[in-house]
Amino acid sequence: TQLLEQSPQFLSIQEGENLTVYCNSSSVFSSLQWYRQEPGEGPVLLVTVVTGGEVKKLKRLTFQFGDARKDSSLHITAAQPGDTGLYLCAGVEAAGNKLTFGGGTRVLVKP
């Protein structure tokens, strides 16, 4: 069992649809990050959230950190084929000093 559980593991949608990816844990995190990874490349940081209840927007992407700082979600509005990739959440436990990654959600947006 991973410290950070992502769901779903795989998501296939049509262009223009909305999607939500979840990142859950039983631990409290001092901060949480979301990365996107494209085939043949390394993950690229999208956002960092540090305050419980925080919401950040990056164009059509909306990131939310749970009030209790145990979970996070990523919502994409009107998905485009360019949103296709592996989405990874990563967090630092409140009492820890390392970054732990979730298993990832693979998103496929069909034209």
Partner 1 sequence: DAGITQSPRHKVTETGTPVTLRCHQTENHRYMYWYRQDPGHGLRLIHYSYGVKDTDKGEVSDGYSVSRSKTEDFLLTLESATSSQTSVYFCAISESRTGAIDGYTFGSGTRLTVV
Tell me which of 1, 14, 26, 40 binds partner 1, using CB under 8 A.
40
| Residue 90 CA, distance from chain mean position | 8
Asked if the peptide bond before residue 8 counts as cis, ω within 30 degrees of 0, the response is: yes
Residues 6+ apart with CB under 8 A from 44: 35, 36, 37, 38
Residue 50 as a binder of partner 1 (CB under 8 A): the answer is yes
Site for partner 1 contains 44 (CB under 8 A): yes
- The reply to whether 66 sits near partner 1 by the rule CB under 8 A is no
Which residues are near partner 1 by CB under 8 A? 2, 30-31, 33, 35, 40-45, 48, 50, 88, 90, 92, 96-99, 101-104
